[in-house]
């Protein structure tokens, strides 16, 4: 029995180590919202256009979220409030934003 529990713990550690920062820290909270996480991405792209500007705007918002700097509708803000400030380090946040960008970017995917 001890060997099985030990094996399961090792498996859990290995699986969670493969999960990206984005999958561990971003996706779970966004699953609770009625608007899918990709819709936020498209709103950022429409407003800021380039990869650099999108990531910069998202980094700024996540480190200092305010209603004024949010890209979501007033209705969602009224319903769910403004996001809490991230506790991720700048490096972890950059990694999460890189993964987010790669997951949803449409550039070079259109034929």
Residue 7 lies in a domain: no
Gap between the Cα atoms of 53 and 84, Å rounded = 22
pLDDT tens digit string along 7-22? Answer: 555 555 444 457 899 8
The pTM assigned to this predicted structure is 0.75
Whether 38 is covered by a domain: the verdict is yes
Q: Is residue 16 part of a domain?
A: no
- Segments forming the whole domain that contains residue 67: 21-104
Residue 54 is encoded by which pair of tokens?
């999108």
**Cβ-based burial of 110 (10 A; exposed 0-12, middle 13-18, buried ≥19):** exposed
* pLDDT per residue as tens digits for the range 49-65: 899 999 999 999 999 99
| Within a domain: 11 | no
Position 8 in a domain? no
- Within a domain: 96: yes
Per-residue confidence at 106, pLDDT binned at 50, 70, 90?
confident
Structural domain includes residue 13? no
Domain count, the chain: 1
What is the Cα–Cα distance from 22 to 27, expressed in whole angstroms? 7
Is 42 within the bounds of a domain?
Answer: yes
């Amino acid at each position: 029995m001890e060997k099985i529990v030990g094996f399961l713990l090792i498996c859990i550690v290995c699986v969670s180590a493969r999960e990206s920062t984005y999958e561990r820290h971003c996706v779970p909270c966004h699953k609770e919202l009625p608007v899918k996480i990709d819709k936020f991405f498209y709103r950022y792209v429409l407003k800021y256009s380039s990869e650099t500007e999108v990531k910069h705007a998202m980094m700024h918002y996540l480190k200092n979220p305010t209603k004024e700097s949010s890209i979501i509708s007033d209705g969602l803000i009224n319903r769910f409030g403004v996001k809490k400030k991230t506790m991720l380090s700048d490096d972890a946040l950059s990694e999460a934003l890189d993964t987010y960008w790669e997951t949803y970017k449409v550039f070079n995917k259109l034929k």
